[in-house]
Amino acid sequence: MYAVEKAEAKWPLCKDAGSGRWRSALLPGAFQVTARAAEALGCIQPPKSANEADFSYGVPREQVAVFRALDGQVYVVDAYCPHLGANLAAGGRVVGNCIECPFHGWQFRGEDGKCTTIPYAEKVPDFAKIKTWPSCEINGMILVWYHCDGVDPVWAVPEQEEITSKEWVYRGHTEHFVNAHIQEIPENAADFAHLTFLHEPVFMSGVDLRYTHSKLWESVKHCWKGEWQPEPEPNKHCSRLVVKHSLTVFGKHFSLMDFAVRARQVGPGLVYLTFEHAFLGRGIILQSVTPVEPLLQHVIHRIYYQRNMPAVIPKFILKVECVQFERDIMIWNNKQYLSKPLLVKEDSAIQRHRRWFAQFYSENSTRFTFQKGGLDW
């Protein structure tokens, strides 16, 4: 996990259609990934002792300390000590259920942020506290809730029973940084036309879009059919996508590669991609999207698969998924987000997706204005 400095005007922007102002893609209520659960035992890069704190950019515009206390519970607190501003995640220790500041030894309880110990003081003042962040540990991940208005979580992250029961086990992950507006990535779910063009060439043709339609591999093609729908109350923060895949070789259907992928988007940044195949088994890819800085998203795909299946199968699936995702990245890294795109009637799902995604913005989200005519860089 990594640190994020507090800064102004450093987040993804989108243009407000009414006012013409640019606004941040900071979302009013979302769970952001901070780490895999196993990594909360200590520092990730590099691994150190199990009683050290960790830090993350999983909370937009904030720097936080993530630690596992003696009781096994994971806590997320502000990284900066309210005493003199030392970073608890840079040299801090876990003492019992508290995190200890490396500067003067002040200790803060993970549960409520209350300062419990000041080594050189007779009494700990009641006002000595540090901010705590709502968080949860689920599906092998640690997530922290961020809301620009400070509102408590209004929905919960669903548990994947097969991961909890260890019927499905962790088999690897991919990690990418994408130069795009945060809305671009989930919007792909409603863009069916791109499936039949961008993702039609067989994965073996690679990720460089200049060559994916080469004659060498034109005899083998992926065929995709998708359907996207938002979920009704009480799960209006969720949407579902069903994609049916088939493969043709020299125009003939290769039925062995028929399968369906069911993707459930939970909030703006989490996606559950479940799949099942008669011979290749069952599993899930968990996708998380976390904003890092202006128009920069940190995307992780983690795969969990049937324990009794050879590890080579999920690793192959993850590789194929990575190839297809990196084709999208080549588009995202070089495109512009359009608030008023030119759509045809066959693109109606994109407009419906934008209306659904609008719920994740708030009137109090950070807004930006650009000064015209200035020469400042």
pLDDT tens-digit map of 295-335 = 899 999 999 999 999 999 999 999 999 999 999 999 999 99
The confidence score (pLDDT) of residue 227 equals 94
Q: How far is CA 230 from the centre of its chain?
A: 19
pLDDT tens-digit map of 87-102 = 999 999 999 999 999 9
Instruction: Tell me the DSSP string of 344-377.
Output: -GGGHHHHHHHHHHGGG--TTS-EE---SS----
Mean pLDDT of the chain: 84
pLDDT tens-digit map of 198-231 = 999 999 999 999 999 888 888 999 999 999 999 9
Domains of the chain, start order: 30-146 (2.102.10.10), 161-359 (3.90.380.10)
What proportions of the chain, in percent to the nearest 5, are helix, strand and coil? 20, 35, 45
CB 272 within 8 A of CB 266: yes
The confidence score (pLDDT) of residue 63 equals 87
The confidence score (pLDDT) of residue 259 equals 87
Q: Is the pLDDT of residue 81 over 90?
A: yes
Nearest CA-CA partner of 274 in 265, 258, 316: 265
Q: What percent of the chain has pLDDT over 70?
A: 80
H runs (alpha helix) in the chain: 161-164, 184-187, 192-198, 312-332, 348-357
